[in-house]
């Protein structure tokens, strides 16, 4: 019995070490750590998104996929991009059981085509928010909503800021006028 418990502990420690290596490598690459959005904030982000089954969405850096799942439960079609492979494996496996109209991609979201997306979710880092707009600002479809947990897009003025305790959610609408001093 003790041998079996020791065996399980060794397996758990080995798995934890492998996951830690994945996390550390990706953090070094992206500068954005994996920190899941708390559930009440996910609920508010989903409410602000006003999704229907007609709409398409994406989560840029979806972590373990909780925002993608919550949006998919409304019937909206969407995807999550994530570089930490074990998180993508987990989300994909979980969706095999839940069968929502969503998919998880083990890709860098900076390679994504974000045209004709109705809602973009993100919880990144200030430098990544700036780079996001530099990369996609020209190609996003007017009317696309961007819902960002915690961090602003420095080049834009938000349409709405929702405060939840110490946290903030920033809502942007592509095509809204950009004040010159923010560019």
Ligand X SMILES: C[S@@+](CC[C@H](N)C(=O)[O-])C[C@H]1O[C@@H](n2cnc3c(N)ncnc32)[C@H](O)[C@@H]1O
> Which two structure tokens, joined as six digits, stand for 98?
């839940």
Of 55, 88, 95, 109, the one binding ligand X by CB under 6 A: 109
Piece of 3-11, 24-32, 95-103, 167-175 that binds ligand X (CB under 6 A): 24-32
In whole angstroms, give the CA distance from residue 34 to residue 157.
26
Of 66, 130, 168, 173, the one binding ligand X by CB under 6 A: 66
**Shortest distance, position 3 Cβ to ligand X, whole Å:** 37
In whole angstroms, give the CA distance from residue 6 to residue 18.
18
In whole angstroms, give the CA distance from residue 39 to residue 156.
27
Residue with Cβ nearer ligand X (11 or 21) = 21
Of 67, 76, 88, 102, the one binding ligand X by CB under 6 A: 67
Instruction: Tell me the CB-side half-sphere exposure of residue 107, using CA atoms within 13 A.
Output: 12
Piece of 14-22, 54-62, 134-142, 164-172 that binds ligand X (CB under 6 A): 54-62
- By CB under 6 A, residue 132 contacts ligand X: no
**Shortest distance, position 131 Cβ to ligand X, whole Å:** 9
Of 46, 82, 144, 156, the one binding ligand X by CB under 6 A: 82
Residue with Cβ nearer ligand X (36 or 101) = 36
- By CB under 6 A, residue 131 contacts ligand X: no
Residues contributing to the site for ligand X (CB under 6 A): 26, 30, 32, 34-37, 59, 61-63, 66-67, 81-84, 108-110, 123-124, 149
């Amino acid at each position: 019995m003790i041998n079996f418990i020791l065996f399980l502990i060794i397996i758990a420690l080995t798995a934890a070490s492998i996951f830690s290596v994945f996390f550390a490598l990706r953090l070094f690459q992206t500068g954005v750590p994996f920190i899941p959005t708390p559930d009440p904030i996910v609920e508010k982000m989903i409410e602000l998104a006003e999704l229907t089954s007609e709409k398409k969405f994406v989560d840029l850096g979806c972590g373990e996929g909780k925002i993608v799942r919550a949006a998919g439960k409304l019937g909206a079609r969407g995807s999550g991009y994530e570089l930490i492979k074990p998180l993508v494996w987990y989300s994909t496996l979980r969706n095999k059981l839940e069968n929502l109209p969503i998919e998880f991609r083990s890709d860098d979201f900076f390679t994504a085509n974000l045209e004709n997306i109705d809602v973009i979710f993100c919880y990144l880092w200030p430098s990544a928010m700036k780079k996001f707009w530099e990369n996609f600002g020209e190609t996003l479809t007017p009317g696309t909503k961007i819902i960002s947990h915690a961090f602003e897009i420095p080049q834009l003025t938000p349409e709405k800021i929702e405060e939840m305790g110490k946290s903030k959610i920033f809502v942007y609408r592509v095509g809204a006028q950009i004040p010159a001093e923010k560019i």
